[in-house]
Structure 1
Amino acid sequence: MLFRRLVIAAAAVLAMGGLVPVAQAQTGDPSFNLVNRSNRVIYEAYASPSSDSNWGQDRLGQNIVPAGRNFVIRLPQGECIYDLRVVYDRQGGPPEERRNVNLCNLTEVVFDGRPQQGGQQRQAPQQGQTQGPRGNPSFNLVNQGQVVVMEVYASLATDQNWGPDRLGNDTVAPGATFPIRLPEGDCMYDMRFVYQNGQSQERRGVNLCDVTNVTVPLPQ
Structure 2
Amino acid sequence: MSRRVLIALAATAALFAAPAPVAQAQTQYAQRCDTNLRITNNSSSSVRAIYFNPSSNRNWGPNRLGNSILQPRQSITFQLPQEDNYDFRISWGGNQAAEMRHTDICRISGVIITDDGLRVR
* Bucket of the pairwise TM-score, normalised by the shorter protein: 0.5 to 0.7
The letter of the residue matching 1:210 is: R
Q: Show CA shifts across 1:119-167 (max 9, x none).
A: xxxxxxxxxxxxxx86333311111111101100110000111111111
Match of 1:174 in 2: 72
Question: Out of 105, 109, 113, which is 1:212 matched to?
Answer: 109
> Which structure exhibits the higher relative contact order, with contacts defined as CA atoms closer than 8 Å and separated by 6 or more residues?
2
C-alpha deviation, 1:187, in angstroms: 2.2
SS in 2 for 1:193: strand
Q: Show CA shifts across 1:82-101 (max 9, x none).
A: xxxxxxxxxxxxxxxxxxxx
Distance 2:118 2:34 in 1: 25
The letter of the residue matching 2:44 is: Q
**Once superposed, which parts of structure 1, at least 4 consecutive aligned residues long, lie more than 4 Å away?**
none
Determine if the alignment matches structure 1 residue 193 to structure 2 residue 90: yes
Q: What is the TM-score with the length of structure 1 in the denominator?
A: 0.36
Match of 2:99 in 1: 202
Task: Mark the runs of 5 or more structure 1 residues left unpaired by the alignment.
Answer: 1-132
SS in 2 for 1:209: helix
The letter of the residue matching 2:103 is: V
Distance 1:144 1:200 in 2: 15
The letter of the residue matching 2:113 is: V
CA contact 1:143–1:174 (8 Å) conserved in 2: yes
SS in 2 for 1:139: strand
Question: Out of 37, 40, 55, which is 1:139 matched to?
Answer: 37
Match of 1:157 in 2: 55
- Shift in CA distance, 166/199, structure 1 to aligned 2, threshold 3 Å: same
CA contact 1:139–1:213 (8 Å) conserved in 2: yes
Identity %: 26
**Higher fraction of helix:** 2
Q: What is the TM-score with the length of structure 2 in the denominator?
A: 0.63
